[in-house]
Every structure is written in structure tokens, then in C-alpha cells.
Structure 1
Amino acid sequence: MSLDLVVAGNLLVDDIVYADGRTRMGEAGGAALYAALAASLWGASVGLASVRGEDYPVAALDALVARGVDLEGVRVLEAPGVRTWLLYEERGRRVIHRIGGPSHAEVSPRPADLPARHLGARAIHVAPMPFEIQSALIAALAPRRETALSLDPHEPIREDNLEAWRPVLASVDALFVSEDDLLLPAASLDPRGALRSLAGAGGRLRLIAFKRGRQGGLLYDARGRAFIEWPPVPRLTGDPTGAGDAFAGGFLAAILAGRPLESALDQAIVSASFALEDWGARGLISATREEAERRLREWLGSRAER
């Protein structure tokens, strides 16, 4: 059976530190983990392409397997992988790679890491990784027009690097960006113009999800030339690590299941809520489809019935 979605991205180990002194060491992390857990929660058949260290927490790998996630595309280093400090301060987040480990690029999958079964997936999501890795993956995958492509950038899109980004953005069908990712003029005040400009530059880019954290977000549908706002996640507590990646995974699973855009956004919101309610990926690992469906009904009401 072919896969619905392949997530290409990182599997990292996170040491999390909050401004109030709370800490959590050695949490299984990486954008690929959160996106794959969220998509598989909703019944999508998911594959994972990544490069992990030999020290990656086994419990997280077991959770992926239990969800039916195909790990054939995960290459194992014969050494520890990347370990990062995630420092949450009052006005933002900083990510610092621990000294002595492999580089971010060294633990990022290349086109050759995707097995044949993954290349036949209905969609491939390229999670945050260094720009050169993401651009190489997109360039290799774009000719396969029967496979939809989505992208969540690691490096910000700015005026001074927009020309380098244009061919990459023109080759994907969906883009997920946060306020920190989209640094074009006036985008933080009113992103509509920036989103129209990105989608109107040619190519296949149709959907852009602009994530604004506690303010919810804005989806631009270039085909319908329409904007759809989504509300904040009802449970904004706990650890925000991976919430944006879970949002993307839940959204893509809904689109692949044929759900309308509003329903896909609702599914994305519920996915993010699981990431927000516990340390690291624990909320997503313990999540059940039954609880996810309950949140759709009780939190989002009539929106979830569309």
C-alpha cells in the first residue's frame, strides 16, 4: 500500500530550559517527530526520512512504530546525534546546538535517503532544515508532479534572500511559515500582501499558512484568492516545542483525506493542542484518535462538522 505522507526532517534530542527555571533534559524532539506523530494520529499512513543518532530515545521510535509510521528512511549514525538547548525566554526562543556533536546538515536527510516506497507517497513534507538541504530535496522531488510537496522553512524568508527562495517556493504546493520565518516588509503587521506576493510569483504554490502562535493564524488559498483566519489553540499551556510542526502534520493529514480547508485547520489546531499540553512530544505520543475527535466536536463545534 502506498503512503499518504512522508515527512523529511530532523530527529534531535532537546534539553529544554524555561525563563522561570523549569528544565527538562533529554527529550525526544525534532520537527519530523512532531509532524509524523500528528499526521498518523488522524489515520494517515506516514513514512519518515531522517538521520538520527544512536542515542535517540527508543521510546519515541517505538511510539512511531506503534502508530504505523514507516521508518525505512531513517538512517542511523554510529555516534550520538545532535543535541540542542531550547531556551525559552520572556520575549522569544533561542536554539543552541551543543558543542561536539554532528552539524545540523549532517543529521538532515538527502534525496538519496528516501527509499522507493517513500518516493511514491501522495505527499512529502519537508520540515525545517538548513536551506541548502531543503532546496536540494525540493529540486529532486519537484519533477514528480504526482506527489504534492509542502515546506516549513528553517531559515527566514527576507528581502535580501528572496531571490534564492523563489525557485524553492515555486516548486511546492503548500508553505507553513511563522512570524519569525516571514521577515518581509510589513508582514508582521498585515501579512496579506506578503502572502499574496509569495503565491503570485508563479509556480505551483497554492496554500500558505501563516502561524502567529497565541494569536492563531491566517491561511491564504491562492486558487480561491481567499484568506481564512484560524483561532488560537484552546490549550495554550505546557511546552510549545513542536506545536507548529504538529499543526502542519494535522493539516496535511486532513487535506490528504479530502477535508475542506476549514476542517483541515481545525484538525491542525487540535494536533497542536496535544503538543502544547506536555513536555516535548509526550502529549502527541499519548494522544488517541478518540480524544482528538472529541476535541474537534467540543472545542470547535460547528466548524468541525464541515
Structure 2
Amino acid sequence: MLQMPDFLTLGHVTRDLHSDGSFSLGGTVTFAALTAYHLGLAAAIVSRADQQLIPELSRYLPNIELQIQPSPQSTTFANQYREGFRTQYLHARAESLEISDVPVQWREAPIVLLGPLAQELSPDIVSLFPRRPGTILAATPQGWLRRWDADGRVWPTPWMEAERILPQIDVLILSHDDLLPFADGNRRDADAILHRWSMHVPLLVATDGRHGATLFRHGQTQRFPAYPIDEVDPTGAGDVFAAAFLTHLHKHGDPEQAIDFANCTASFSVEQPGIAGIPTTEKVLQRMNEKKNLTT
């Protein structure tokens, strides 16, 4: 019988292609579940992948409970960088997740994170997890903000279901940059979108890289600085942040403290490539104490 996890995340695990033809395992669910596990929670993933990748997932994701349905192909991304700008391509996409993919025993998990990457989660999946006291239902919507053309090039697309989904969840976490394409690159206009969305969800957190993060509560904002570090690889930092924020929020109930904890956790993740930098709680608390001592 499946044991109910503390932290459940849904979305596609991905093959992230490198220039030499190799790949690393990616996806919001990968980074988020590993972060939750490193922070002391029992974590689980619901996803879809191809028959070759499925047997390898337990090696990439040790100690993570997996419910992976087979798909003809796995979601596969490749990034091209030119003059500091990233162009992203979707080379393959796993089938969308179905409501039946989620084990009944897992549907009352204390923390649930919806982490779509390529429109693989229907808005209807939110109905599986009705809001209840003592639980958190959260989403990182980047996969609902993407479309792709016939060549697989990824483009931004408006989140048409935002105001339908937001009232049904407890927390929305996203990158400030995710909204810039819809605001002609104007940060003030992006903030206006965040402000509007925050009126429909109890907590909204917008990350902004080295600038830290902003907490929106029904239109009211608080900004929290990042931890200064030497960045090596920002891949997955937002997903690490999301899992750390939700973990701390569930344990302690204070969103302001949770953002500082998440900022610190994410600072470790960018210091090493891929999943290698995800820290333990002890490392995070040590860095937070060091920062506190420097400012007192």
C-alpha cells in the first residue's frame, strides 16, 4: 500500500539536452521533490515518461516515491544561448497527466505542488485537492504560460485559466520574468498583473533572481533580498525556492520567514550545476545565521 507523502508534486519530468548530445534530468517536479526530501520531508512525484527513462528515474531520484505512467516519449527541452538571450525548444512532449494518474492515497498530502512545464496539467486537476485546514495547494504556472510552434520553439502565451484556478489554490509562485513578455518588458506592468492575480489567491510570491523575491497578499507587497552568491547554474532555482517556501510555510505558518528561508535555499542551488547544489536544512540555517550575525 502506498504511503501518503508529506510533499506531492505533479508535472513532467524532463530530458534537458546538452550541446554534446547528453541530457540531465529536469523539470519542476525533479527539483522540487529533491528539495523537499533534502529538507526532511517524504516526497513523491506523479509524472509521465518514456519506457527507457522510467527505469532510470529511481537512480536520478533516490528516496523519492514515484508514480510514473508510460508515454511514447518524454518531455524534452533544449536551450540555445546567444548574446545572453535564451531560446528554448520543445523537442518532444510526454502525454498529459490524467486525474486517474494520481493515487487516491496521495490526494490528501499535506503539501501539493502543481508544476506544469508544457500544458500537461488540465485546470480540472485542481479539483482533486480541495483546500483544507492544515494543507497547502500551490502552483508554479510556467507551463501554463508556454506555447510552441511547429519547429518546437517555445513562446509565451497568456494564462487564460488564471482567474479560474487561483481561487482554488493557496499559493502561486512564479518568476517575475515569466510575465515580462506580457508587459512589453516593463516591470511596472508585470507587477500590475501580479497585483491583479494576488486578489484571487491568498499568497503570491514572485521571484526575481539576484533581486530577491516579492510577497503579494491581496495587493499588498513586501520585498525580500536575495543572498549574494557566485552564480554557476540558475537552472531549477525557482523550483528549489518554491519547495523550500512551501516546506517552511507548512511547518511554521509564517510566509515572511518562509521567503527568507527559500531565498537562502535557492542561493545554494545556483552555486553548483543541476541538482548538485540542493542543500540540507542544516546548511540553510547555518547560512541564515551567518547572514544574521553580519547584520547585527
TM-score past 0.5 threshold: yes
Is contact 2:10-2:114 (8 Å) kept?
yes
Contact between 1:28 and 1:56, CA under 8 Å: does it hold in 2?
no
Residues 9 and 209 of structure 1, relative CA distance in 2, 3 Å threshold:
same
**Counterpart in the other structure of 1:258:** 252
Distance 1:156 1:81, change over 3 A: closer
TM-score (norm 1): 0.78
Name the Cα RMSD after superposition.
Answer: 3.0
Whether the 8 Å CA contact 1:11–1:51 is kept in 2: the answer is: yes
Instruction: Compute the displacement of 1:57 (Å).
Output: 8.6
In the superposition, the TM-score normalised over structure 2's length comes to 0.81
C-alpha change, 1:16 and 1:218, in structure 2 (3 Å) is farther
Larger RCO: 1 or 2 (CA < 8 Å, sep 6+): 1
What residue number does 1:242 align with? 236
- 1:216 is aligned, of 212, 217, 222, to 212
In 2: Cα distance, 1:55 partner to 1:294 partner:
40
Unaligned runs of 5+ in 2: 147-156
Structure 1: distance between partners of 2:245 and 2:10: 16
The answer to whether residue 78 in structure 2 is matched with residue 85 in structure 1 is yes
Structure 1 CA distance for aligned equivalents of residues 160 and 70 of structure 2: 35
Number of aligned residues: 279
Instruction: Return the alpha-carbon distance in structure 1 between the equivalents of residues 77 and 271 of structure 2.
Output: 21
Q: Gapped runs of 5+ residues in structure 1?
A: 18-22
Q: Partner amino acid for 1:70? A: E
Asked whether the 8 Å contact 1:266–1:300 carries over to 2, the reply is: no
CA deviations over 1:53-80 (Å, ceiling 9, x no partner): 34439776336333xx322x22244x55
Q: Look up the match of 1:115.
A: 103
- Paired with 1:244 and 1:80, the residues of 2 have a C-alpha distance of 25
Give the C-alpha shift of residue 141 in structure 1: 2.3
Percent identity for Structure 1 against Structure 2: 26
- Whether the aligned pair in 2 keeps the contact of 1:24 and 1:279 (CA below 8 Å) is no
Partner AA of 1:93 in structure 2: R
Residues 1:181 and 1:244: Cα distance change in structure 2 (over 3 Å):
same
Deviation at 1:117, TM superposition (A): 2.2
Distance 1:56 1:251 in 2: 29
Once the two structures are TM-superposed, the CA of residue 298 in structure 1 deviates from its matched residue by 1.6
Which of residues 285, 291, 295 is equivalent to 1:299?
291
